[in-house]
Structure formats: structure tokens, C-alpha cells
């Protein structure tokens, strides 16, 4: 009996080819189970975000997340995913110092997780130089502009590019990342009109989060869109389920059965 071949994983080349055609669906995943579920649901990219610092570890920011943690979670997601492209966030200060540090750490993530790409924040001339060097080694890089969570202490948690100077800076940064060779750019907390201008100005796909409908794709944090993280409610978030209530109700029902002596019963005993 023949065995069906595994689906070919989506690559950076595939993502680039989608520009101006099909919209890209991106969600975060942090373990093998949810990696498998989002993959089976047909997402294009499973992003192993350093947002795990907030939604998994309970930190206030992403800054405490370590390289070892990203490798652990990245490799777990990769084991659950067979079709979607797996991209791993590079955590704070693992790539900003210099090219050598960035190459060493990005290479380690690729080697130890099996991911097909990494994500680096920022679009300054210096960052574009680092990203270009990483791309030149054969590592696909997703860029990230607008509100960049690793710069929260400098930027604050707010929409970026509201004035002319900020808008022009983001457009220039996006073009710089395009020239550096990124295969896509996340735009976070950017006015919708500006996100559309950036999308039109570059030949690589843009992926929005809080950046309006004009981007080439969208990304959401999985626990947010599932309603598991029910205390987080920014304007851009649409919840597609309310699983926090489902979880609480299920655990309460289990507790009632245990306390009442009705679980386990004969059906659930050996």
C-alpha cells in the first residue's frame, strides 16, 4: 500500500511570489500541538514569536526571552508543522550587536530548530546591513517595522508613523529592508493609509498587525484570536473564539466530577 507523500513546506520564495496575489495568513505558535493545528487549518506561516514571553511566560515585555527559549519553542513547533513555513523570532540583543553575533545566533536557530526563516526587528541603515549579511548566508529573513516590541522602552506601546516625518521614515526603512533582501515585512501598529503606501512602495509582501486591510497578509497571536488571552483587548484584535470560558467551564466540570466521585467511572477505568 502506497503512503501519501508529505506536503512540500512553504518557502520564502513561495511567500515572495504571493505578493499582489493571494493574501498571506500568519499566526503565532509556541508548541508542537498548536503548530500541528494551525498547519492543518491551512496557515501560510507559523511564526514562533518572542511574544511567548508575554502569553506563555507571563513577562510584561518580550525583552527577557532568551535564545535558548526560542530554540526550544521553535524546534517544538517545527515538529508539529509539515506544510506551513516556520519562522522564528530572534530575541533581544541576539542580533543587534554586530554581524558576527547575528550570523552566529541566526545560524544556531536555523540549525537547531529546522525552521525555514528568522524574523529581525528594525530598519535602520545599521540593521539593514546586519540583515543583508544574514540573507547573504542563505538564511531567509522576515523584517519587522512600526511598533517593534523589543524597542518598547524607547517607542512606548503606541501607533507609529502618525506624522509626516515618521511616515517617511517607515517608508524609507521598508525600502531599505527590501534592498537588504527580506522576503516579507511585518508592519505593527501603523496607520492603515500608511501601511497601504508602504505595501505599494515595496516588492515584498507586507504582513499587518494593527495596520489595516491594505497589507499583503495579516498576523495575529494565536491565544489572542482564540480568546484564551481574554484580558488583552487592543483595538485591532478580532476574537474568533472565546476559549478562556470553554477552558474554565471544562475544568470546573472535571472538578465537580472528581469531588462528586463520578469520575472516573467504569467506562473510564481498566
Question: Mean pLDDT per segment of 10 residues, for the chain of length 270 residues?
Answer: 75 97 97 98 98 96 97 98 98 98 98 98 97 98 97 92 97 98 98 98 98 98 97 95 98 98 96
Query: How much is the pLDDT for 4?
Result: 65
Of residues 40, 121, 188, 193, which has the active-site annotation? 188
- Reference 30, options 73, 87, 86, 69; nearest CA is 73
Please tell me the pTM assigned to this model: 0.96
Whether 193 sits among the annotated catalytic residues: the reply is no
Query: Per the structure block, which three cell numbers stand in for 250?
Result: 471544562
pLDDT tens digits for 31-53? Answer: 999 999 999 999 999 999 999 99
3-class SS of residue 254: helix
- State yes or no: cis peptide before 264, omega within 30 of 0: yes
- DSSP letter at 156 equals -
Alpha helices in the chain (DSSP H): 12-17, 32-40, 52-55, 67-80, 99-113, 125-136, 152-155, 164-180, 192-201, 222-225, 243-260
pLDDT tens digits for 158-175? Answer: 999 999 999 999 999 999
Amino acid at each position: 500500500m502506497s503512503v501519501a507523500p508529505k506536503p512540500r513546506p512553504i518557502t520564502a520564495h513561495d511567500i515572495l511570489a504571493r505578493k499582489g496575489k493571494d493574501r498571506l495568513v500568519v499566526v503565532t505558535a509556541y508548541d508542537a500541538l498548536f503548530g500541528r493545528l494551525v498547519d492543518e487549518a491551512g496557515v501560510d506561516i507559523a511564526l514562533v514569536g518572542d511574544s511567548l514571553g508575554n502569553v506563555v511566560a507571563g513577562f510584561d515585555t518580550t525583552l527577557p526571552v532568551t535564545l535558548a527559549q526560542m530554540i526550544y519553542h521553535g524546534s517544538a513547533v517545527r515538529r508539529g508543522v509539515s506544510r506551513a513555513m516556520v519562522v522564528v523570532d530572534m530575541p533581544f540583543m541576539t542580533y543587534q550587536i554586530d554581524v558576527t553575533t547575528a550570523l552566529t545566533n541566526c545560524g544556531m536557530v536555523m540549525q537547531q530548530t529546522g525552521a525555514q526563516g528568522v524574523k529581525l526587528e528594525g530598519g535602520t541603515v545599521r540593521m539593514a546591513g546586519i540583515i543583508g549579511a544574514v540573507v547573504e548566508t542563505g538564511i531567509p529573513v522576515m523584517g519587522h517595522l512600526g511598533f517593534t516590541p523589543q524597542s518598547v522602552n524607547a517607542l512606548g506601546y503606541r501607533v507609529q508613523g502618525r506624522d509626516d516625518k515618521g511616515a517617511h521614515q517607515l517608508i524609507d526603512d521598508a525600502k531599505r529592508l527590501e534592498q537588504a533582501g527580506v522576503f516579507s515585512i511585518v508592519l505593527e501598529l501603523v496607520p492603515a493609509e500608511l501601511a497601504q503606501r508602504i505595501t505599494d512602495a515595496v516588492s515584498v509582501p507586507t504582513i499587518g498587525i494593527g495596520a489595516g486591510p491594505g497589507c499583503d497578509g495579516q498576523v495575529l497571536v494565536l491565544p489572542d484570536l482564540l480568546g484564551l488571552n481574554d484580558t488583552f483587548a487592543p483595538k485591532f484584535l478580532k476574537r474568533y473564539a472565546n476559549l478562556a470560558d470553554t477552558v474554565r467551564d471544562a475544568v470546573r466540570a472535571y472538578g465537580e466530577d472528581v469531588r462528586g466521585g463520578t469520575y472516573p467511572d467504569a467506562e473510564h477505568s481498566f
